Amino acid sequence: MGEKKRSTSPRQFAATAITRRKLREGTGVTGGPRTLSAPAAAGEAHAPPPDEPSTITRPGTGRRGAAAMAQEIAPIAVRPSMLSGISEQSVVSHYEHIYGTAVRRLNAVRRELAALDAGVAPHVVRGLKGQEISLMGSVALHELYFGNLGGFRRAGPNSGLGRPDWHEVPDTFAAEIAADFGSANAWRREFAAMAQSLAGDAGWVLLTYARRQKRFLNHIATDHTQATVDAAPVLVLDMYEHAYEMDYGANATAYIDSFFKNINWDAVLKRIDAARNHRPPPNEDPSSTRDIPSLSVEELAAQIAKGSGVQIVDARQRDHMSRDPDLMAGATWRDPDRVEEWVAELIQDKPVAVYCSYGFDVGCNVAKTLTEHGLNARFVRGGLSAWYASGGARALKPAAG
C-alpha cells in the first residue's frame, strides 16, 4: 500500500452526512433554529417552529448555524420497488425502521448532550459521545447505501446484463479501479470476499477514495464508527443482517451477488468526482432536480404542531394505497390520476402538503398541478416513507365505500 503523493492540504472532512445535511437544510437563516419536531419526539422542549417557509428550501443553497444540530431524515434515494433480488418490503423496512431509528436516536442523544451541565460525570459524556459518533456513522452509511443502489433497472434493457461479456464494473471505471487493484475483477473479488467474511455477523464493506494517498481502498467496518481517516466512502454495502435476512435468510452470498447487480454506478462516479475535487458529496435526494415547492417531513410536522391548518393530501397511486393498511395521520387520500375531480374540494387559502410513497414523481406532479390551480401546494420530500422513518404518526385507512 504505497503512499502515493500526499495531498497538500488534507481537509477536514469528518461527518460527511452532516455536511451534506447542513447544505440540504437550505436557508437556515429564514427558518431560525430548528429541532426535530416529529410527533414521536413530542414531549421535549422544542425551539419555536420555523415560520411558514417563505422561500423554497432547496438543498445546496446555503448553510445553517451549528447550534441546532438536528438530523433530518433524508428521502430514500432509490425506488424500493426497482431493485433486483432485494424486495421492496425489505428495503422499506430497512429505511423506515433501521435508518429512521438511527436518525431519531441521534437527535435524542444530541438533545441529551445539549442539556448536560458542567458537573456531569465523565462516563455520561463518554457514553453519549460514543453513541453520537456511532449513530452519525449509521445515518451517513445508510444514506450512502440506499443511494448507491438501483443500478439494475437504470442500466436499461440493452445494457447486456446477463450476457457473458457483461461487466459489473462499467468500462468507464474499470481502468481506474484496475490501477489500484490490478484489475476490476480483482477489486470485485476482494470486495465480495470481505462482504462474505461478515456473513452472520454485522458490519459494512466500503470502497473509499483516500484523499491522502489519492487511491481507492476497500475496507471493512465492523461497526458504524470504523473509517479510514480522510477517505470518502463512494460505494457502501450494508452487511448487517437486517439488510438481507428478510429476503435471503442466512444466505449472505446470494445477497452479495444481488448487491453487485444493483450498484448504481452513476451515483458512485458522481461521489468519486466530488471527493477528488474536494466538493461536498452530491445531493442524492431523488426530487432535488424538480423545481417545485417542497417541504421536509420535519417541516410538515412543525406546521401541523403549529396548527397552520395545512391540508394533507395522500396522493399515492391507487395500487400503493390498496396494499397498505394505513396512511399519515390527518391525511386524506386522493387519486393522483384524477386531480381535476377533487381539486375544488381543497380550501384555497390554506396550504396544501402532498405526499406519495417515497417522494419520487407522483407527489411532485400532483403538487405542480395544484399549484397551477392557484393553490399554495408543496410536496413532501421523501413521501410517506420518510414520514414514518421520522417517527410520524400513522392512522388507519378509512374503510372503503
Partner 1 sequence: MDAVTPLPASARQSAAPETVTVRPLLLKPQYMNGLSERLLVSHYVNNYGGALRRLNAIRTRLGGVDWARAPVFEINGLKREELIAAGSVILHEIYFDSLGGRGNDPPTGLEQPTAELAQALERDFGSVAAWRAEFTGMAKALAGGSGWAILAWSARLGRLVNQWAADHAHALAGATPILALDMYEHAYHLDFGAKAAAYVDQAMANLNWPRIGARYRLAIGEAAEQDELFRPFGSPADEAARISAEELKAALAHDDARRPVLLDVCMAKDLPRRTDMLAGATVHAPEALPRWVEELPRDRPIAVYCIAGFQISGNAVTELRRRGYDARALAGGIIAWHAIGGATVPLDTSTYEQTS
- Binding residues for partner 1, rule: CB under 8 A, are 93-94, 97-98, 101-102, 199-202, 222-223, 240-242, 245-246, 249-250
Nearer to partner 1 among residue 94 and residue 215 (C-beta): 94
Write down the least CB distance from residue 249 to partner 1, Å.
5
Of 54 and 222, which CB lies nearer to partner 1 in the complex structure? Answer: 222
Whole-angstrom distance, CA of residue 86 vs CA of residue 89: 9
Nearest approach in angstroms of CB 97 to partner 1 is: 4
- Beta-strand runs (E) in 167-310: 204-210, 215-221, 231-238, 294-295
Q: Least CB distance from residue 242 to partner 1, whole Å? A: 5
Between CA 141 and CA 149, with CA 143 as vertex, the angle to 5 degrees is: 100
CA distance 188 to 73: 31
Q: Rounded to an integer, what distance in angstroms lies between the CA atom of residue 156 and that of residue 179?
A: 28
Least distance in angstroms from the C-beta of 105 to partner 1? 9
Distance between CA atoms of residues 331 and 311, nearest Å? 7
Q: Which is nearer to partner 1, 132 or 245 (CB)?
A: 245
Distance in Å, CB of 201 to partner 1, minimum:
7
Q: Please state, in angstroms and rounded to a whole number, the distance separating the CA atoms of residues 330 and 304.
A: 9
User: Which cell numbers hold the place of 344?
Assistant: 375544488
Q: Which of 145-171 are b and which e, b meaning 16 or more Cβ less than 10 Å from the residue's Cβ?
A: bbbbbbbbbbbeeeeeeeeeeeeebbe
| Min CB(137)–partner 1 separation in Å | 11
CB burial of residue 316 (10 Å; 0-12, 13-18, 19+): buried
The one-letter amino acid code at 302 reads: A
Q: Return the C-alpha cell found at 394.
A: 400513522
Nearer Cβ to partner 1, position 50 or 391? 391
**Nearer to partner 1 (CB atom), residue 222 or residue 317:** 222
Shortest separation between residue 116's beta carbon and partner 1, angstroms:
20
Helix (H) / strand (E) element for 203: namely none
> Between 287 and 385, whose beta carbon lies closer to partner 1?
385
In the complex with partner 1, the residue whose CB is nearer, 223 or 273, is: 223
Cα 217 to the chain's mean position, in Å? 24
CB of 199 to partner 1, least distance (A): 7
Q: Which is nearer to partner 1, 259 or 265 (by Cβ)?
A: 259
